[in-house]
């Protein structure tokens, strides 16, 4: 009975004192101050959470690549000729490397990005052009020339290319300074060759010219992108009937003064045929071996696929694909640097199994793997820049640039 009475005397639901339940002015003030303090602290924490902070740290690179990073790429430019496509590398440390060819390959492609033939485009070691025309003497050279190079359009071009064994054409633009420097020497050389090999009687060689600002379709069909471009056409060597305009001819990269042009043209002239027999000519004044180094195969298509790899230092820098030449001008308004990315990767190649395993474990990584592969970048301006990150704090930009040479 004693234990029962003690349990009944315990009150598990005690009443709250009256002074704690009655409202008062001081209590209201304390409640308001407490609410304001909580709102202030919440705002401070939220602001700190949303703010971005930058921290710098030095980390020892323990990767197996050493001081250099390998960049593999496969890029297709449907409207950039392999003749002028240049792969350049530069970085913030002052490194500048131009027209890399040792680990880079170029293949002509058609507008559908299909390769033209199986052979790689070899521009070779192009000689440095020392003379871009005759020296000015202060007199009007044209008054002594008479008839010079024949002016061609699409109709006359087709006729003359089938009529003459060798047709050498200067594709020029009147606004181009290099074209204007070449013009007097080209006209004079054309007259000398015409006097030596009469076009009407001989028919073995003719020097002509095409104004690409007037005959844009003709120049485009022969993939002319830099001015002036001197092309050598031989009868029967042009590939006909192809909707993408494939052509098989050569480009001239030698000096552009009258003497050099005439010597080169004489070497091109085939032997004359009299009564079914070849007539030998004395060309001892010319150097056939040297002249052979002045010409290179012209691109068979207007597009170019550039693939290979480069090694760059692990610092911010640029990998630049540019239209570049030290002796040609480019019309920036008509250049099109639109390109398709076959693949573009940094560092050692990772197996697909490892990539899929990483994507399964960390799905958020899927958006950061091969972000450029399969994308098409349309050229709307003169320059296109694509930046990608290497690791966490190093950036390397792929810049597609047009470098007019004037």
Residues identified as active-site: 176
Q: Where are the beta strands (DSSP E) in 111-269?
A: 150-151, 166-172, 205-211, 226-227, 229-234, 250-252
Kindly state the helix (H) or strand (E) to which residue 89 belongs, with its residue range.
Answer: strand 85-91
SS3 state of residue 297: strand
The token pair that represents 55 in the structure block? 């921290």
Could you write out the DSSP letters of every residue in 320-350? EEEE--SS-EE-TTT----EEEEEEEESSPP
- If you write DSSP's letter for every residue of 48-83 in order, what string do you get? HHH-------------TTTTEEEEEEEEEETTS-TT
295-297 vs 104-109, strand pairing mode: unpaired
Alpha helical stretches, state H, 118-268: 154-163, 177-196, 216-221, 258-268
State both tokens at 30: 């304390």
Rounded to the nearest 5°, which phi and psi values hold at 133? 160, 175
Burial class (CB in 10 A: 0-12, 13-18, 19+), 106: buried
Residue that is written with structure tokens 């199986």 in the block: 118
Q: What is the pairing mode between strands 277-279 and 272-274?
A: antiparallel
Cα–Cα distance list, 371 to 5, 311, 312 (Å):
80, 20, 20
How wide is the angle at C-alpha 282 spanned by C-alphas 260 and 259, nearest 5°?
A: 10
């Amino acid at each position: 009975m004693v234990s029962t009475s003690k349990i009944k005397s315990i009150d598990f639901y005690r009443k709250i004192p009256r002074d704690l339940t009655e409202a008062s002015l001081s209590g209201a003030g304390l409640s308001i101050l407490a609410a304001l303090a909580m709102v202030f602290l919440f705002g401070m924490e939220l602001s700190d959470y949303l703010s971005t902070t930058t921290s710098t740290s030095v980390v020892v690179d323990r990767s197996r690549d050493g001081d250099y990073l390998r960049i593999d790429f496969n890029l297709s430019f449907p409207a950039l000729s392999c003749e002028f496509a240049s792969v350049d590398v530069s970085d913030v440390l002052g490194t500048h490397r131009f027209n890399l060819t040792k680990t880079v390959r170029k293949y002509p492609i058609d507008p559908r990005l299909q390769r033209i033939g199986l052979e790689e485009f070899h521009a070779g070691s192009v000689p440095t052009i020392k003379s871009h025309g005759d020296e000015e003497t202060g007199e009007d050279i044209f008054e002594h020339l008479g008839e010079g190079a024949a002016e061609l359009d699409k109709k006359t071009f087709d006729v003359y290319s089938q009529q003459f064994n060798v047709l050498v054409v200067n594709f020029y633009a009147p606004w181009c300074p290099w074209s204007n420097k070449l013009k007097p020497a080209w006209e004079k050389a054309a007259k000398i060759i015409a006097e030596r090999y009469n076009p009407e009687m001989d028919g073995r060689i003719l020097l002509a010219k095409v104004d690409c600002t007037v005959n844009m379709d003709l120049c485009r069909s022969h993939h002319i992108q830099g001015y002036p471009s001197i092309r050598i056409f031989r009868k029967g060597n042009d590939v006909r009937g192809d909707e993408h305009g494939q052509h098989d001819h050569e480009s001239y990269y030698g000096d552009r003064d009258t003497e050099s042009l005439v010597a080169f043209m004489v070497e091109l002239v085939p032997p004359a045929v009299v009564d079914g027999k070849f007539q030998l000519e004395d060309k001892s004044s010319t150097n056939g071996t040297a002249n052979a180094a002045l010409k290179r195969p012209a691109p068979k298509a207007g597009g170019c696929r550039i693939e290979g790899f480069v090694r760059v230092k692990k610092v911010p820098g640029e990998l630049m694909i540019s239209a570049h030449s030290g002796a040609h001008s480019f019309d920036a308004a008509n250049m099109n640097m639109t390109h398709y990315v076959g693949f573009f990767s940094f560092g050692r190649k990772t197996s697909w199994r490892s990539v899929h395993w990483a994507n399964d474990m960390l799905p958020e990584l899927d958006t950061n793997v091969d972000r450029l592969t399969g994308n098409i970048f349309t050229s709307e301006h003169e320059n296109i820049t694509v930046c990608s990150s290497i690791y966490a704090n190093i950036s390397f930009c792929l810049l597609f640039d047009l470098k007019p040479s004037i």
